[in-house]
Structure 1
Amino acid sequence: MAFPSWLDPFDAEPFVFFSKSHLWAMACIAVGLLLTYLFRNELRATSDRTRRNIRIYLALFMFGCEIVLQAWYIYGGVWSLRTSLPLELCSLSLLLSGVVLLTRSRLLHSALLFAGIAGALMAIVTPNLGYAYPHFRFIQFFTAHACIILALLYMTWVEQLRPTWRSVVASMVFVNVAAFVVYIMDVILDANYMFLRHKPDTASVLDLLGPYPVYILGEEILAMVMFSLMYGLFFAIPARVRSRMKRDRGTTF
């Protein structure tokens, strides 16, 4: 079967780290997130129906990202139980973030917030990807990972599901429960989802964490540090500063 170049799973330009297309992809994601933050108050001020429609359409789009990926695997004849199931952390985060959009579940949002954002961010910066722009897989990869971050931050900034320190713990619990279940599937399928049995073939942050299985412990420590820093820098410290500013304004009158 002859494939269009942008769909060919076998003969495509290889992905190059920090190439022009990679930098453009990261820049576009950053701009999209920045615009969401800048217009968060305007979005929050819209009607319940409008916000509900935004959540529904974004969730359906995210589910569609996974559906078209599975369709591409089948179309290209590369679908496999060992490599194609949505058992990577970001695949799970993509689907579950869509569920958060539809249900507004505080518990699920708390469990996913830091794990989903940190995992997607690391994937965007150091992708385990073999296809360069404008290949379908390149576009799908960055779109799906951007949607994870967008959905979770939308629920935080617009729907105001605010995290607490418990969210850090919840994210760690989510990661470890997911890893336990996925590892069982890895053993059953002789697979390597979530890289629980060996490192990826491409360069990644795991290369800095030692050999197998030491890097898994390193991931645990790195995750805890990242989740704690994310909560502290983006939520706890700003909240404390705002609270102090309010007290200061109250004492001037």
Structure 2
Amino acid sequence: MAYPPWLDPYDAEPFILFSTSHIVSISVITALIVLMFLLRHHLRSWSERARRILRIVLACIMFACEIVLQLWYVYGGIWSLQTSLPLELCSLSLLLSALLLLTRSRLLHSALLFAGIAGALMAILTPNLGYGYAHFRFIQFFVAHACIILALLYMTWVEQLRPSWRSVAGSMIFVNVAALIVYVVDVMLDANYMFLRHKPSTPSVLDMLGPYPMYILGEEILALVLFSLMYILLFAIPDRLKHRVKKGKSSAV
């Protein structure tokens, strides 16, 4: 069967880490994050109906990312229980973040905020990806991971679901519960979802965390450090600075 070049699962241009297309993708995603931050007050001023429509549209895009990926697996004859189920951390974050957009659940937000953003950022910087631009899989990969970050930041900046230290704990619990369930599935299917049985074949941050199974413990420590730093730098420090400014203004009056 002859496949169009942009859909071919067997003969496609390979992905090259930090190639021009990779750097452009990182730059576009960064620009979207900055744009959402700059527009957060404007978006917050929209009516509840308008914001609900925006959340639904973004959630539909996120669900579509997973659906078209599964269809591509089937179309290319490469779907399998060992590699195609949505059991990677970012796949779980994608689907649950879409559900968060629809439900505005504080529990989901707390569980996903740091795990979803950190996982998606790691994936964007060091993708476990075999297809270069402009293959379907390249585009789907970066769109899906960008949506995870944008959805979680939207719920934080616009819908104002504010995190706390409990969110750090919630994200750690989410990662570990997900890993435990996925590991059982890995053993049953002889699979390697979430890289719980060996490292990926492509370069990744796991290469710096030692051999199996020590890199799993390294992941735990790295996750706790990253989640804590994200909370301190993005929320705790800005909130304290705002409090001091308000206190200073009150004293001046």
Give the shorter-chain TM-score range.
over 0.9
Structure-2 separation of matches of 1:246 and 1:48: 28
Instruction: List gaps (5 residues or longer) in structure 1.
Output: none
What is the CA-CA distance between 1:136 and the residue it aligns to? 0.3
- The corresponding residue for 2:140 is 140
Partner of 1:87: 87
Secondary structure of the 1:59 match is helix
Q: AA paired with 1:201?
A: S
Using the alignment, how far apart are the partners of 1:162 and 1:90 within structure 2? 22
Work out whether 1:96 is the aligned partner of 2:91.
no
Report what 1:72 is aligned to.
72
Q: Tell me the residue number matched to 2:156.
A: 156
Q: Which runs of 5+ in 2 are unaligned?
A: none
Aligned-partner residue type, residue 82 of structure 2: R
Q: Which amino acid aligns with 1:169?
A: A
CA distance in 1, matches of 2:202, 2:58: 31
**CA–CA distance in 2 between the matches of 1:241 and 1:43?**
23
**What CA distance in whole angstroms lies between the structure 2 residues aligned with 1:135 and 1:213?**
34
> 2:210 aligned with 1:190, yes or no?
no
Shift of 1:44: 0.3
Distance 1:3 1:109 in 2: 40
Deviation for aligned residue 1:250: 1.1
Q: CA deviation at 1:116?
A: 0.2
- Deviating beyond 4 angstroms after TM superposition, the runs of 4 or more aligned structure 1 residues are none
Q: Deviations over 1:67-106 (max 9, x none)?
A: 0000000000000000000000000000000000000000
Written as runs of structure 1 = structure 2, the 5 A alignment for 1:83-232 is 83-232=83-232
| CA apart distance, 1:252 | 1.2
Scaled by the length of structure 1, the TM-score of the pair is 1.00
**C-alpha deviation, 1:33, in angstroms:** 0.9
Looking at structure 2, the residues matched to 21 and 57 of structure 1 have their Cα atoms a distance apart, in angstroms, of 27
The CA deviation string for residues 126-160 of structure 1, in whole angstroms up to 9 with x for no partner, is 00000000000000000000000000000000000
CA offset at residue 173 of structure 1?
Answer: 0.1
Write the distance in 2 (CA, Å) between the matches of 1:128 and 1:6: 18
Describe the SS at the equivalent of 1:244.
helix
Listed as ranges, the matches of 1:12-51 within 5 Å are 12-51=12-51
CA distance in 2 between partners of 1:234 and 1:80 (Å): 40
CA distance in 2, matches of 1:201, 1:31: 30
Q: CA deviation at 1:241?
A: 0.4
Residue-pair matches, total: 253
Q: What is the TM-score with the length of structure 2 in the denominator? A: 1.00
